[in-house]
Amino acid sequence: MRQLRNIEEMTGIDFLQTGNMHVSLDLGELDWDLVRLEALIERGEAADFKQAESLWKGEFLYGYEALDPEFNSWLLIERERIRTGLLADCFKKIDGMSAGKDSETIEAAAKFLLHMDGALEHAHQVLIRLYLALGQKERARQQLKACERELSISLDAKPDAATYRLFEEIPDPAPLGTGAKPGVFNLSGMLGPTDSGEIRLPEISILSLSLDSTGQMNSRMLRDEIVAGLSSYRSFELVQAEYKDEDGGGSITRVESGELGSYLLRFRHDPAANRVYIQFESRDTGRILFNEIIDFDVLSDRNAALVAAFHTVSRIHAYVVGRLRKAGMSTPFARWCQAESLMWDFSPTSDEKALRILNELEKSHNTFSMTYAGKASIDMKRLLYYPKEMADSERKIEDILSLAERGVLLDPWQPINQRVYGWALVQSGLAEDAKRAFRHAEQLNLVDPNNLMSVAEGLAFVGDIENARKIAERAFGLFPAVPRIFFEYLANIHFAAEDYMSATEFIERAPAGSIFGLTTRIAALVCTGRESDAVNVLQTFSSRFGERVDRDLLGSHDQSPWHQRINFFQDPNTRANYRRGADLVQRFFQGGL
């Protein structure tokens, strides 16, 4: 408070208002640089972009990361939202400008973008295309060198082939568009796809009865946790049922919602019994889908109540999404649910079916961000599991990273977008960036055990062992029934922690038949000095699943050895220990033992 009063004296602005029982800020008295920055970009003249460049001093609230862990989690997401919003607004201003009359504005806007992020290749492309259109080829070449330098320093990468191709095209900035006028910038390829239709979601109406009276803190907490959990899935349109009925929500009408479905979630508190009754029903038919009773006298503590809330959320999500995964559902979101289900099968045939669905979605709804996360996920699996299919697709890890990044840019609030982006960054050797993406994914959905387990495994691979263990433990507490595949994830987490005995125990509970799970098991046995047991496991595996082992998979592709492609562990010692197991597996199946 004393510091705030000192700031008032320094600035001469009385913004702090206090009373006996409150403290507040008069925001109208303050001049916010971020608000001014957004206003300048909205105006969008050359002078505005130059002024915006002088205003941008770095990331939002830089230096406040260590203030508090919870605040830092919020800050990371807020920074990404602000950054992506400013980038998109700048590109939209450039879109449609002419290289002749608007060249000064285009240049100022692109330089502002590069001031924000020197490695933003799209901004370099804008300047290169502008200089080429103006006949300034030497400036364009200098810009290309600047692009190469920034990408090398920041990302240890080279410019995309499309950047080099700009010099081969006619010096007219229109080629990225279709039917664009000469000299006019059409940046649809840089902004990402444009909307061609809305993605509608299943609707859930929330009806709370007797929960707004005083003294019902536990009941309201339970309701709020369930609603927040449903919201974090980003799979439902949530509305307050009370708003739909002028009489206070006493009666809820039937609706015709089509294949997506419309549902009613009722909460009713019984103070005498200290219970909350939860009813989930279909508004199309009025059929009650399930009832739950939460008895606060039985629940031991607040954590037990949270787990009960998570189980309710999971039950609702499983029913609604499971229904949409059935064959015959044709709405875009239903098609996504079908593709996502196929992707969890981990088979070439299922992935091919999922990819066909995703390609259809991209054509019809090309700003649906999860499409790109799904395609990146499939391509990563192909890179690891099916090298022949990957060779046919000609996709490289740089292309996969670009796909995943597009998903994040379109919607940084989707957990799967951040999660797949994290895995693509791991494959690219960018451990710290991957850690940030995984932590984003965790915070965006704390109630989906599938999300949490994937995040936990990813964090273990990049060396954040303590958080990986905590998140995995939390995820296991949320599973009504733990899928066996997640014991393989848990084994990798313990392997990263150099707890090889536990890694061996957990991998034995995972599904057999996966050569990657087999490699973790062999590596853990080797690290505990049990080489003879490892050979016995290999012989047993070969007798049961040997015909499934693709010898071509164990070879080298694109000068990348098999042990390197499957080794996600970023810690050098752990990588070396895992390679010992991979080498033994490779020698065994290639006849070297």
pLDDT tens-digit readout, 429-455: 899 999 999 999 999 999 899 999 999
Q: pLDDT digits over 53-72, tens only?
A: 999 988 888 888 878 877 88
Using alpha carbons, select from 110, 99, 104, 224 the residue that is nearest to residue 171.
Answer: 99
Angle at 9 between CA 8 and CA 11, to 5 degrees: 65
The more confidently predicted of residues 172 and 396 is: 396
Domains, in order of start, for the chain: 1-30 (no CATH), 38-191 (no CATH), 203-324 (3.40.50), 338-456 (1.25.40.10), 484-593 (no CATH)
Max mean pLDDT among 247-251, 526-530, 582-586 falls in 526-530
Is 90 exposed, middle or buried, given 0-12, 13-18 or 19+ CB atoms closer than 10 A? buried
Q: Dihedral, CA atoms, 406, 410, 414, 416, nearest 10 degrees? A: -20
What are the angstrom distances between the C-alpha of 183 and each of 168, 179, 189, 242? 17, 12, 16, 54
Of the listed ranges 69-78, 127-136, 565-574, the least confidently predicted one is 69-78
| Region label for 227, one of left (φ > 0), alpha (ψ between -120 and 50) or beta (otherwise) | alpha
CA 192 – CA 187 distance, rounded (Å): 8
What are the angstrom distances between the C-alpha of 93 and each of 38, 82, 104, 174? 12, 17, 13, 16
Q: pLDDT digits over 550-571, tens only?
A: 555 565 545 467 777 788 999 9
* Share of the chain residues as helix, strand and coil, in percent rounded to the nearest 5: 60, 10, 30
CA 398 – CA 162 distance, rounded (Å): 13
DSSP 8-state symbol, 181: P
Residue 577 has pLDDT above 90, yes or no: yes
Which residues 6+ apart lie within 8 Å of 53 measured at CB? 108, 111, 112, 115
Alpha helices (H) in 411-514, listed in sequence order:
415-427, 431-444, 449-461, 465-478, 485-496, 500-507
Using alpha carbons, select from 494, 474, 504 the residue that is nearest to residue 569.
Answer: 494
First to last CA, the chain: 72
CA 30 – CA 169 distance, rounded (Å): 50
Half-sphere exposure of 377 (CA within 13 A, CB side): 27
pTM of the full predicted structure? 0.66
The more confidently predicted of residues 177 and 153 is: 153
Predicted pLDDT of residue 546: 65
Which residues 6+ apart lie within 8 Å of 150 measured at CB? 114, 118, 119, 124
Residue 122 has pLDDT above 80, yes or no: yes
Predicted pLDDT of residue 579: 94
CA 566 – CA 583 distance, rounded (Å): 12
Is residue 41 within 8 A of residue 93, CB to CB? The reply is yes
Predicted pLDDT of residue 177: 37
CA 143 – CA 166 distance, rounded (Å): 12
